[in-house]
Amino acid sequence: SAPISRFLPDEAATLALGGSWAASLAAPLVVYLHGDLGAGKTTFTRGLLRGLGHNGAVKSPTYALVESYPLAAFTLHHFDLYRFSSPEEWQDAGLDDLFGRSVCLIEWPQLGGEFVPAADITVQLENAEAGRMCTLTAHTPQGQKSLEAWLN
């Protein structure tokens, strides 16, 4: 289906867009977060987690590889593969075990190569004017359903 774009003028807008997904988000779902360093991938995830009722910190998982948040309806896993030196690290870290009944958001998924489960939705963040352009694309029927419930 056609990608959907939203202009995000400031950090608050990125947090709000992430937060607005919380009410309709359902597991299982795999989301790739694309964009340069500092594009807002972790900020978007922080907004989503706040919307889901997580009141604690949302740290960038750059060193830990994954931060997991057990929530009422499902566990959300937030991955960051930025420090991978080869895709095989995905297997070494046993990350496959975290998929199946969870919502998984993955920064730098391309560094995990073919080991990373396919995306239902991609979220692309790019610099635009002073803010960011966010483009959302569904790749599966499940992803399409989620985007429709969220944005319509």
- Does 14 engage in binding with Mg ion (CB under 5 A)? no
Task: Please say which residue, 8 or 144, places its beta carbon nearer to ligand ADP.
Answer: 8
- 60 sits near Mg ion (criterion: CB under 5 A): yes
Nearer to ligand ADP, 38 or 141 (CB): 38
Interaction between residue 53 and ligand ADP (CB under 6 A): no
Interface with ligand ADP (CB under 6 A), residue total: 17
3-class SS string, the chain:
CCCEEEEECCHHHHHHHHHHHHHHCCCCEEEEEECCCCCCHHHHHHHHHHHCCCCCCCCCCCCCCEEEEECCCCEEEEEECCCCCCCCHHHHCCHHHHCCCCEEEEECHHHHHHHCCCCCEEEEEEEECCEEEEEEEECCHHHHHHHHHHHC
Q: CB-wise, 26 or 128, nearer to ligand ADP?
A: 128
Residues that bind Mg ion (CB under 5 A): 41-42, 60, 107
Residues that bind ligand ADP (CB under 6 A): 8, 10-11, 13-14, 35, 37-43, 60, 107, 131-132
